[in-house]
Structure 1
Amino acid sequence: MERDGFISYSHARDRELAQALQRGLHKLARPWTRRQVISVFRDTTSLSANHDLWSSILGELQRSRYFIYLASPEAAASRWVQKELRFWLDNRSPDRILIAVGSGTVHWDPAAGDFDWSRTTALPRMLEGVFRAEPLWVDLAEVRRSRKYSLRQAEFRSAVAALAAPLHGRGKDELDSEDLQQRRIALRLLRGAVTVLSLLLVTSLAAGGYAWQKRGEALDRARVSASQALAAHSMELADADPRKAAQFALYAEEAEPTSESARALARAVDANSSAARHLQGGLGAAAAYIGSGGAAATQVAVSGDGSTLAYFSDLGGGEVLGRDVHIYDIRKGRAVKSLDARWPLGGGALELSADGRILMLEVSYNRIQIWDVRRAKLLRTITASAGEKLARAFTRLHAYAFSGDARWVAATYRAPEDEETLWLSVWNARTGERVGHRTTQGNPRLSFAADSGLLTSVDTSGAGRSTWDPRTRRWENGGRLPDIPVEGRSVALSAGGGDAALFGSTDKEKAELWNLSTGKRLASATSSLQQAVLPADDSGPVVAAQGKQVSLLDSKLRPLRTLGSFSWPVRSLAASNDGRWVAAGSDDGAVSLFSTDGAGLHRSVPNEGRLKAGELAVDGRVTYRSGPNGTDLWAVSEGGDGLRRLGRIPRPVEAPDMAVAATSDGSRVTVLDQGVFSSWDPRTGTREGEEKALAYRSAPDRGLRLFYLADDIHVVAAWDRGVLLIDTRTWSVKQTLLADDGAYQLLALAGDRKTLVAVETTGGAVHVWRWPGQGGFEEVPTDAVLSSTSILSAAVSHRGERLASVDADGRISILDIRSGRVVLSAVVQEPGSQDIVFSRDARTLAHAFTTDTRSGLELWDARSGEYLGQWALNTPTPPTDAEEPSLQLASGAGSDVLTLDSGGTLLRRSLDIADWRAKLCRIVDDPLSKADHDRYLSDLTVDAPCRP
């Protein structure tokens, strides 16, 4: 069915305005006897739930007569809007583009015959030079500001009439007159019908209201069921296919936020903790496809400096791909122009120069292409041999290497003159001249040194090692490899020509890491390591493909952690020289980019003080390490770092008899030592003012707690009888809370430093106060009791909505302070630390745990009390055999939490579910396939969760 118009707009900016515009175009000049005169498409209402998003939009664009662009700066920058507009410009006349300006500016320059792009902000630059004359456009900016979206409003009606006139093929005034006439006819009929309908209304309202209520309940149940089913499938996929797990978790949360969707998001975040971007999904239905000669169907390459990723695949993305080499700018996090290349069916050689500017690509029949990546330009083609004359099994390169400076390219191949002989040649990549040529044996592996360009060839038949020097252009035979069992095994050489080589495992042999210069075996492993990338300087972690997983190994080939997983075995692997960026492609065409420092989901941050859990104490939002001669202090950084050093004071702080607290900027710390207060400048280590002793004492064997309030002037402290509010300028007691209560109070302060909670350590009674910013505290009535056993620790959410505690039995309790209701009382799944932290939005709660071999976080839904699972902390620096696992937890900036382990690794993780969604959308933003959409979301309207 042909449509009259297609509305393209920014969902984030103009969803409501686009809906009103569609409604107005449908209603204007509509005869009362007809339901609709014209048909205008808008995606979120016009699509049925069983459509694949882009294919459905493409079909509607093809059926539409006019393109209505709802202009705004956000729409101009939207990838989806640009995609829709590009299709129209490539396939339709620009004369049929109608522009409605919702925000931003549009200016036409009559002299230039084009828009004034120095002043126009609401249009994408792709419209430059498109129109021969000033196109039709209307201004809806004032309508948008007033939000008066009715045809009875003159400004909105005029704009709708101007846009509707071309769709109806009539003049604006004629259309407006027709609309008024139709309204008069409808009004007369309406008055006649009102009397009859009024009689029916009373009886129908009751039945209609009941039916509407039931319909709403049924839809709510359907959305909840769909969310739960999507979340369950996400959990099933988390280990095998983290990309799909993230996709299903995002749709589960979009369908309906539930505890199950939160659990699926938490699991997806953990499974994708090292993923920087899933560039394309796999094509599982065609995974059995085998290309020419059985070579890899998917190939990846990463530049040595980690700036660029190149990849291609015969499969992937849900369909057979076009024959392009895709380029991804890692630093900017976006795809750039692809290369119109034609690799051999089934795959071929792919390598990038160290700076990512030049690419080497194998194409059909033993030819090598050299590409300028930035300009997407083919520079030259090098012919190794007349491969079209060879038997099919020989029409490809056997081994290859590309020097980091893009000067030399080497490859092994066969020639039609003598198909039994394997040739090894070196070419000048800048001129195409062949500068080295010889026969070789076995199935060698090649590598160029990063500094000298020296080419190393290691023969897997056992013949040995040889080198080619670009300065002399001569080969030197290094002789057989002493005592290294290489025959029939895969070989991975150090990136940049180092001395290390990893010989892959076979059915009978272990994988072994050797130094080729000394002939010494460095390490061995029993696991399958057929593919690996060694670090450039022979130090640091090894990246290895182990079946369907990409793993990080230490120098002894011991597993450190898993970077990611695929549904099918890994076929291609690449890494930057420093090992930070890792790319992998699987048998079914999936391609993913990983970051060994976490890429933002679970990010490793600097630990400049070389701190370790167990060495530090945390009190009053201050982390400190104390010795007999003084105390070093840190606070959680508000920026992207971990701990911010405040300085040092020349006195020890020893728990439990002492406590310390810091102002929000860390410029002043207060120390409480058995009733004696003193203030210090940690930057200079000098004391400010005099010490002050107060006639109070702490409870025996319980320790002290001390906090600064939001004004950075007043502190609160718990004593043996009550809680004190103290002015640090005069050391005077401004208020005494619970003065007659003999029970010891465990203090906890909200993140905004305005809500104070005291919990009786024996009995679990809770007392809550709000601080208005000046004067004394105001009590918030509550009769809540958390636990009948001893309370060990407590935490309050950022704005004081919830309180959590851990008791001596390992039971966690969560109190909703506003309602006074305990929403959770559950025993922790793992023993260990008593540290607990809320997310900033108070939706999730984290508890640190340790066992004999591992540590991590347990997560709860702080609203419902549902258990959300665990995040194991598989850190790059695990504790040594002499160290016991331990973990320290601290609130970070925003919704982040900092974890410090016994090995000194400091990680920043987010606890905010909204942040989980945003970060998962950054690594996988494509919609569900049509089959999955039909299976889980049939008859439901659920937007794509990652569309802007």
Structure 2
Amino acid sequence: MPQGFRYWAFISYHHRDRREAQWLHRYLERYRVPRHLLGRPLHDIQVPARLAPVFRDRDELPSSVDLGGVVQQALHQSRYLIVLCSPGAAQSRWVNEEVRSFKRLGRERNILCLRLDSAGGQQVFPPALLERYDEQGEVCGRAPEPLAADLKADTRDGAALKLIAGMLDIGYDELRRRERRRRIRNHLLAGALGLCAAASLFSAWHWQQAEKQEALRTQALQARIEMLYRNGREELLAHNEARAAAYLGEAYRLGLDTPALRFMLARAMAAVDPQQLRIRTGVPVWLADVNADLTRAIAIGIDVHLRGYLLAQPQQPIFDLPLGDVDRFFGAFGLGGRVFWLESLGRQGHEMRLFDARDGRLLLREKMNDESLDDSDYGVSPNPLSDDEREVVLLGPDRALHYGAIGASLQRLAGDYSTARYCGGRGLVTAAQDGRIELRDPRRAGVPVLRRFQGLPGRAVVLDCSRDGRLLAAATHDGAVRIWDVDAATLLMSSGHNAIISDLHFSADGQRLMTATRAQVSIWQSRGGALLYAERFLDPAGNPAVMNPEGSMLARIGEGRLSVVDTDSGASLYSLDAHLGGVNAFNFAPDGQHAVSGGNDGTLVIWRLPQAAQQQYRDGTHQAPPLAFASDGRYFVGGSQGGLYDAQGRRQPGFGAGATPALRAALSKDGRQLALADESGALQLHSLPDDRLLDRYAGVAAKVVNLGFDHSGAYLAQAIKEGGIRVLELGTHRQRHQLATDFSRAFAFSPRQAEFAYGSGDTLYLQPTAADAPRWRRQLAIAPATTISAVVFSDDGSRLLVLAERRWAFVIDVASGRLLQRLDHPAAVHFSMGAFSRDGDKIAIADAGKTMLLWHLPSRRYLTLSGHNAAVHTVAFSPDGSLLLSAADDGRLRIWDSQDGELLYSFNAHAGSILPFAAGFAPDGRLAYTTGSDGATRLWPMSGETRTPAQLQQLLRCKIAWVTAGRGLRALEPDPRRCAP
């Protein structure tokens, strides 16, 4: 401060008033002078921003006549003296001396007082405050009682402001108003800051809650997706494809997109996509059929009306005919599809009616014999029409046969007959009550007998002839079944059931015969009588099954759905599930590619049936034909004659490797050479794609069990049964190597280098193809009397998987022969085959103990995958590594998720076993192949679903009667309006 003033004020107080002195000291030093007062002249200075510093002694001075030097100096350097007036201060010698000393400095007018407490009228002013001093500092009289701010009357802030107003020489009201405005502003600012802080805290809390909610939603979504995926997988494994599609499609819509999901979706949609047309009839359908050219459909509903539909314009029926009071009925189109026949039983008795399928016009109505009809017999209804649909035959009420042209008066053939039918243009087959079966000529007078068929032990209830009329089948009331050659009248088959036959008919080619009772269905080989397929029904209800014209599939209705079974392998192929409330009626179309179903929801659905196997090869024997793929997947060679096919399974014309049946085939890596080995071990080498014979190699007098080119196509290896491995140098006819091995799989060409690996006993060899000595050999630590059973290179050729026949697996570094990893599985029975994934991180191992191992090399852990009912001989990864295939002696093909070992799909691929090492993926991964002991090689579609979730949801809502609801499904009528045009 100018002019020697160091302190703005000196606070004088009694020690009892120490707390008030501390408060006042802090208040004055922290006080900010109003901005509009800054710089204003104040006596000899300008008003500063703060009134600091302020002096305050902490305690009473020691007992002394004179003030301490520090206090005296502070009084001298203080502009103002503030006296805290209280009874203690009034009696304090030292407060009084401080006031007297300050007045003697000539600053009496700069003394400010703050009254603390009157204490009931006691004196609060020190005596020096009530004395007047002259210019020499001597007492010259008594001064009036000073004006003082009152702490009780003015409140603390008001009292302090009065002191400050005195120090700044301004009016108290001006300062008080300003301070009030500042306080209001500060309060507003504090309120705003508080609101901001509250808003920030609320925002932080809200964000935290939102994050928690989002985490919970994510967790709930993930749990729902996992539940949908799990349920869909289980439904697919049970071959409930439509229900699986509902679950998996919803998981797909919610964001799950993995190769495993797309694979399962494609399998499920294979049974949903075939729906071609949905027709609303308005009433539950109990009988449905389509004609041969797929232009018309006929349905009979629960209201017993016969309705006909044009498939090109299915909105309204072209006819709607009431059938009267009918309890039971059975009918179908004739072979030409122009006439619909209907056999019924009701109040009017047992009748046969024929309708024109184009307009519903009644062509014939005749009474039939009903003496023998009861619940056990009903359902036996042979086709009464001739193949050209111009003639009809039926059993009259008198047991005589009534036959002739439709539209003319029927002729009567007297006798005691049980049934009759036309036989493929050969004539009329009649069955008498005594079991006599005869072929007659209905176009000649007297209907002469052409042939008689012996061997039926009882009354025939149903007859059928093959399409060409060469075979005749009959069944008795007791379940006996017989098949005759029509031309020779010789008995071909004698078998049957222990119950009345409810259905009997040949396949279109006459090679198979289906017989069915209410509890069992069987399919027989027509010539020879071998039983090909049989199944019993625990809860039969009516006619249980329908065979397709080719005899390759059987459809059966049960538990509200329609299941389709492959009669060759016994595999459940898929289920057709499109009706709300269950299926009541089903029939295959005559072309074998289409079908019609009718349901409780009052609809007819026309299907184009999916093909389980994309391609199939047989050579007429139980020896399975060879199969070999080009490495780029553009084409493959299949069949014992070495036919060339493109990726879609279309055979390329003009290609055939020769007349000698081949047992093994191999394609070079560049796809330019084809090797075929016949039964004698002789080799033929062909060029592709021109099918030019390049070379021949003599046989080895032993069966060739494996065949393969090296990576360059310059060498060919033959694995010979009980004869080791032979490596041929192509073009020179030179046998480059002859190796002794116990297993044909204990040999492998490197995919990158001109070398191969093979095992003999407990020793592994790496051999350059052009050299005579191995590059290195390694003896493996396996049990005595065991030997190496398989050798497999990784895709990059850097590592080898070596399996020992019992339980050992080794991963070997190719460059050095160093052991990288080892697996010892005590529960294994026999390790026979292994495979690397393309990235080399996983290995699959087949075990004869009905299991396989999925070995994850980076973590050194493995999973045991079980489910087969027989020894597993074959494993393979898909080219992208997402899927894993296993095949076994039980004939089943299983597809697994290679990431977690979860089973995705399973079906019977063959009636017998799948041959060892005869299954795998095509190079592009879109097909899998299997070869079985039944003599067939089959290709199976493996592609994943490619449509978007939105496209799939639209299609599902259009075609299936299921939607997800909670943890399950609920039935919902499909909406055909959502079907894309």
Query: Which TM bucket (shorter chain)?
Result: 0.5 to 0.7
CA distance in 2, matches of 1:564, 1:914: 36
Which consecutive unaligned segments of at least 5 residues does structure 1 have? 1-192, 290-296, 329-334, 372-376, 639-643, 681-686, 770-775, 880-884
Deviations 1:87-145 (A, max 9, x none): xxxxxxxxxxxxxxxxxxxxxxxxxxxxxxxxxxxxxxxxxxxxxxxxxxxxxxxxxxx
TM-score, scaled to structure 2: 0.52
* Contact kept in structure 1, 2:225 and 2:251, CA below 8 Å: yes
Letter in 1 for 2:412: R
For residues 834 and 647 of structure 1, do their structure 2 counterparts lie closer, same or farther at Cα, with a shift above 3 Å needed?
farther
Give the conservation status (yes or no) of the 8 Å contact 1:620–1:660: no
Matched residue of 2:447: which SS?
strand
- AA aligned opposite 1:532: L
Find 2:623's aligned residue among 612, 622, 629.
612
**Alignment match, 1:649:** 697
Provide, for residues 189-245 of structure 1, a one-character-per-residue CA deviation record: whole Å limited to 9, x for no partner.
xxxx9999776432211111111111221232234334445555666xx5xxx6xx2
Q: Report the counterpart of residue 813 of structure 1 in structure 2.
A: 853
1:792 maps to which residue? Answer: 832
Instruction: Give yes or no for the alignment of 1:401 onto 2:387.
Output: no
Residue of structure 2 aligned with 1:891, choices 895, 900, 920: 920
1:610/1:425 CA distance change after superposition, 3 Å:
closer
- Tell me whether 1:825 sits opposite 2:860 in the alignment: no
Which amino acid is the alignment partner of residue 888 of structure 2?
A: F
Task: Report the equivalent of 2:495.
Answer: 524
What are the superposed Cα offsets for residues 502-547 of structure 1, whole Å, 9 maximum, x if unpaired?
A: 21454xx54444567748473112255320212567x521123344
Matched, 1:862 2:890: no
2:682 aligned to 616, 621, 630, which one? Answer: 630
Instruction: Verify the 8 A CA contact 1:398 1:411 in the aligned structure 2.
Output: no
Instruction: Determine helix, strand or coil for the equivalent of 2:846.
Output: strand
- Give the corresponding residue for 1:207: 209
Q: For residues 207 and 839 of structure 1, what CA distance do their matches in structure 2 show?
A: 45
1:600 aligned to 611, 616, 623, which one? 611
After TM superposition, list the pairs within 5 Å mapping 1:554-703 onto structure 2: 554-555=525-526, 558-561=530-533, 569=541, 571=543, 579=551, 588-591=583-586, 593=588, 600-602=611-613, 605-608=616-619, 610=621, 612=623, 630-631=682-683, 649-652=697-700, 660-662=707-709, 669-670=716-717, 677-680=727-730, 687-688=731-732, 701=742
Note the C-alpha offset of 1:925: 9.6
Structure 1 match to 2:791:
747
Distance 1:600 1:669, change over 3 A: farther
Give the deviation of 1:802 after TM superposition.
3.1
**Residue ranges of structure 2 left out of the alignment (5+ in a row):** 1-194, 345-350, 559-581, 595-608, 626-661, 669-673, 783-787
Query: Over the residues paired in the alignment, what is the CA RMSD in angstroms?
Result: 6.6
460 and 782 in structure 1: CA distance in 2 versus 1, 3 angstrom threshold: farther
Deviation digits for residues 39-94 of structure 1 (CA, Å, limit 9, x no counterpart): xxxxxxxxxxxxxxxxxxxxxxxxxxxxxxxxxxxxxxxxxxxxxxxxxxxxxxxx
**Matched-pair contact (CA < 8 Å) for 1:286–1:588:** no
Kindly indicate which of the two structures has a greater share of residues assigned to strand.
2
1:424 aligns with 402
For residues 620 and 447 of structure 1, do their structure 2 counterparts lie closer, same or farther at Cα, with a shift above 3 Å needed? Answer: same
Q: Output the CA distance in 1 between the equivalents of 2:544 and 2:289.
A: 6
Tell me if the contact between 2:882 and 2:899 (Cα under 8 Å) persists in the aligned partners: yes
Partners of 1:737 and 1:320 lie apart in 2 by: 83
Does the CA contact (< 8 Å) of 1:568 and 1:588 recur in 2? Answer: no
Q: AA paired with 1:247?
A: A
Which of the residues 324, 328, 344 maps onto 2:308? 324
C-alpha distance in structure 1 between counterparts of 2:452 and 2:725, whole Å: 77
TM-score normalized by structure 1?
0.53
Larger RCO (CA under 8 A, 6+ residues apart): 1
Aligned residue number for residue 459 of structure 2: 487
User: 1:877-912 CA deviation, whole Å, 9 max, x = no partner?
Assistant: x69xxxxx9655232423544333334232333566
Which residue does 1:454 correspond to in 2?
Answer: 427
What is the number of residues matched between the two proteins? 660
1:909 to 921, 940, 947: 940
When Rg is computed on C-alpha atoms for both structures, the one with the higher figure is 2
How far off is 1:630 after superposition? Answer: 2.4
The separation in 2 between residues aligned to 1:228 and 1:454, in whole angstroms, is 58
- Aligned residue for 1:864, secondary structure, equals coil
Aligned to 1:251: 246
Counterpart residue number, 1:141: none
Letter in 2 for 1:424: H
Q: How does 1:219-618 map to 2 (within 5 A)?
A: 219-229=221-231, 232=234, 238=238, 245-256=240-251, 297-300=286-289, 303=292, 312-314=298-300, 323-325=307-309, 340-342=318-320, 344=323, 347-353=329-335, 358-362=338-342, 367-371=353-357, 377-378=358-359, 381=361, 383-385=363-365, 400-404=383-387, 406=388, 408-412=390-394, 424-427=402-405, 433-434=407-408, 436-438=410-412, 444-450=418-424, 452=425, 454-459=427-432, 465=438, 467-470=440-443, 472=444, 475-476=447-448, 484-487=456-459, 489-506=461-478, 509-513=479-483, 518=489, 520=491, 522-526=493-497, 528=499, 529-535=501-507, 540-547=511-518, 551-555=522-526, 558-561=530-533, 569=541, 571=543, 579=551, 588-591=583-586, 593=588, 600-602=611-613, 605-608=616-619, 610=621, 612=623
Q: Deviations over 1:329-366 (max 9, x none)?
A: xxxxxx9999734464765532243xx56454559996
Structure 1 window deviating more from structure 2 (511-520 vs 213-222): it is: 511-520
Mean alpha-carbon deviation: is it higher for 609-618 or for 808-817? 609-618
Cα drift, residue 581 of structure 1 = 7.1
* Offset, 1:645: 12
Partner residue, 1:849: 888
Q: Is the 8 A contact 2:245 2:269 kept in 1?
A: no
8 Å Cα contact 2:792-2:835 kept in structure 1: yes
Residue in structure 2 matched with residue 156 of structure 1 by the alignment: none
- Cα pair 1:360 1:402 within 8 Å, conserved: no
The amino acid that maps onto 1:324 is G
Match of 2:218 in 1: 216
SS in 2 for 1:349: strand
Q: Residue type of the partner of 2:920?
A: S
Q: Residue type of the partner of 2:855?
A: L
1:759 to 2:770 alignment: no
Q: How far did 1:475 drift?
A: 2.7
- Counterparts of 2:536 and 2:926 in 1: how far apart (Å)? 25
Q: 1:367 to 1:839 in 2, by over 3 A?
A: same
Q: Which residue does 1:837 correspond to in 2?
A: 876
Whole-Å Cα distance in 2 between the matches of residues 490 and 760 of structure 1?
Answer: 59
Q: Does 1:929 align with 2:961?
A: yes
**Change over 3 Å in CA distance of 1:938–1:309 after alignment to 2:** closer
- The Cα offsets for residues 803-824 of structure 1, whole Å up to 9 and x where unpaired, read as 211357665211245x445341
- CA deviations 1:224-269 (Å, max 9, x no partner) are 334445555666xx5xxx6xx222233343344899x989999997
Give, in angstroms, the shift of residue 791 of structure 1: 4.3
SS at 2:214 equivalent:
helix
Percent sequence identity is 12
